[in-house]
Amino acid sequence: MKQKHWYDYLWIWTILFFALGFFNILFAWLGMNDFLVPLVIAIVGGNKAFCNRYCGRGQLFAVCGKCSLKKQAPTWIAAKWFRYGFLVFFLSMFGNMIFQTYLVAAGAANLKEAIKLLWMFRVPWGWTYTAGTVADWIAQFSFGFYSLMLTSTMIGFIVNFLFKPRTWCSFCPMGTMTQILCKIKAKGVHDHV
């Protein structure tokens, strides 16, 4: 058995994050950590320490690895076209979510107290928010961001069950983005032989 470190338990944080958002949607803002920290580590450190050590979601998939058929995923799942394509798709969905937030902030749209799963299914989520607690756009962002986090985790669990544990990591947009940043940073440095 390998020695366990404190950061091997960060999967608990991921469960906590989703649980908190079930009671108060404003906790969704805490998820920005999982968005910014990996980027900062990749840009400043030039490594994937986030994926390799600190990502609670990746760990949660590994922890749930017992409930998996452990089949090898088809090769296209880790192919560049699919990974980059999924990244572009994900970023445009992220952009759309920011745009919705802007519309609410500008008064051009009303706050929708619901989350959207898989970009299609609207689920009422109103009990997690009391209207007027904060500015509407802050709440709108919470619902939107939580939707993205929950959607990606759902997709992750589906592939986790069908294929090997952490198959999500082979096309995770954050993982792809940080690897691209690291590759850009490592360029010019001699390749290891």
Partner 1 sequence: MKRLAAPDRKVCVACGVCMKACPKNAISIYKGCYALVEEATCVGCGLCAKVCPAGCIVIHERSEAK
Which region, judged by CB under 6 A, interacts with ligand SF4, from 121-129, 139-147, 167-175, 185-193? 167-175
Closest CA to 163 of 64, 91, 42, 53: 64
93, 115, 169, 181: which one contacts ligand SF4 (CB under 6 A)?
Answer: 169
Least Cβ distance, residue 166 to partner 1 (angstroms): 5
Closest CA to 25 of 104, 118, 111, 102: 111
Which region, judged by CB under 8 A, interacts with partner 1, from 15-23, 97-105, 119-127, 172-180? 172-180
Chain centroid to CA 116: 15
**Interaction of residue 83 with ligand SF4, rule CB under 6 A:** no
Closest CA to 28 of 14, 43, 36, 17: 17
Q: How far apart are CA 156 and CA 165, in angstroms?
A: 9
Q: Which residues, 13 to 42, sit near partner 1 by CB under 8 A?
A: 42
Q: Would you tell me which residues interact with ligand SF4 (CB under 6 A)?
A: 38, 51, 55, 57-58, 168-169, 172, 174-175
